[in-house]
Amino acid sequence: MARKSIPTFTSEAEEQEFWQKHDSADYIDWSKGKIGVFPELKPSTKTISLRLPESLLAAIKTLANKKDVPYQSLMKVFLSEKLQDELNNSDNKSIQRTTRSRR
């Protein structure tokens, strides 16, 4: 199958508009694609301000010191783990509701 050549774009907006209206399979042979690995790529982060009770912050810093990790990194791990727990529980609850409604 002959592939069409990808046009030259003058802006990112023009390129986005083009790909919204065209199938990339007409332009790219995806069977020759390879999985990309980007070991240096870091997720985007956003700085926020968070007010915590001083005693909570002190406890987090103490625990982080015991684990020999930066306290902000420890907080990110805690938040991530709790979020995943809540999402999993939420999924389970919706499954339970669906199962009950079928009875």
Q: What is the pLDDT of residues 6-18, one digit of tens each?
A: 999 999 999 999 9
Q: What are the φ/ψ torsions at residue 57 (nearest 5 degrees)?
A: -60, -40
Domain boundaries, the chain: 72-103
Q: What is the pLDDT of residues 15-64, one digit of tens each?
A: 999 999 999 999 999 888 888 888 888 888 889 999 999 999 999 999 99
Q: What is the CA radius of gyration of the chain?
A: 24
pTM of the model: 0.51
> Could you tell me the CA-to-CA distances from 40 to 10, 37, 43, 92 in Å, in that order?
29, 9, 10, 36
Q: Find the farthest-apart pair of alpha carbons in the chain and give their distance in angstroms, rounded.
A: 67
Nearest to 4 by CA among 36, 35, 26: 26
